Structure 1
Amino acid sequence: MESDVLLSHEGESADINEITPEVAGAKHVRGSGPSPEEEHKNRKRALPWILVGVLLLALLGGLAAWWLMRPAETHEAGGVSWAQGQSSESGTPLQPGSVRIAGYPKVEVTGGSVAHAPIKNSAENTFAVSYILDLDGETLWESGLIKPGVEVGEQRLSRALSPGVHKATWLVQAWTLDEKDPQGLNKVEMPCEITVAQ
């Protein structure tokens, strides 16, 4: 039968059954696991990593809560903030200095060159807006200034598009209502998918 052996500080061996607390310098008994000192060191080393893990989980939870409860996308620049994607019927009051715009993520085109997107500048806006439909750097349609409360029913494109789906961009800009010299304020870009019927 095998017997575990422990070396004492004097280098003498002793049977494991004979070891008492008075044996000084004993570090490790084969097969018995870490000593109490090593366990304490391991716990001290693990504590900062546990705290970092808890903090990361709290941060991720906070970001998830913010993402789920954030308001509609807002863009701010040039003194005007955009409340994108909210219609005037949304019930959300428009803040002073803000412009409410509608997004048109999908536009259908018939006859190759007539787009149907009921573009409207909300009556509650205090700024004019302009829309440009851009396809790979080419302007397909430009609205000019649209005053508050005015709607543009259909858009005649600068050229006919081939049947299928095209990825385009709406470039929307706010303008002051000065009749003589309207000043362009900030701009926003919104992705758009143009579907051309066959």
Structure 2
Amino acid sequence: MGFLDSILGKTRLPDAKIDRLFAISTACVTMEANLDLVPDGQAGVCIKPMESSYYESARKEIEGLLGLSFKETGTSFSFQRDEYGYAWVVLTDPDFEDLVTNIQMICQILMEQGFGTQLLAAVYRFKGKVTAYWIYSFKLGSYYPFVPKPGKQRDTAMEFRLKAVMQKELPIEKDMAKWYPMWGMPL
């Protein structure tokens, strides 16, 4: 934000921080070895809903590139809305590296199209004795764990354990008040 913007009262939302997205690809080895959690083959990008012809253009570009990626990697994808109206690009692929690469590609396209401020989170699902999600907050530029239990409850003990084991592997959000649950995800 420039000097004139601050005087005139204009604010500009910060663009998404995507530089740390790839940290999850090496961290999954530690999760499997130390926590018996393995990638589930699903990941997604949560996008703040918007109505715009530019968004439709970006969506078509994403569909085209993911269609090409699907031919090479076997990744499948769908566009969905969750129960709160947020837009999602949901990816399915047994190869975790393909999921991470495609999530980054989607984010890059949206940023290039001017939608960096609309990116909310990238989510990776892991399975073991529990289902755990690693959520990357684009605004914070960091990850945090989310372990849901029935009845919209959280397994905070497991979330703290994930943090303790993974804090050397992942850029984890230090302020746990910002570990927002993501109920109703389509993955």
Judge same fold: TM > 0.5, yes or no: no
More helix per residue: 1 or 2?
Answer: 2
The structure that has the greater radius of gyration is 1
Greater relative contact order, per chain length (Cα 8 Å cut-off, separation 6+): 2
More strand per residue: 1 or 2?
Answer: 1
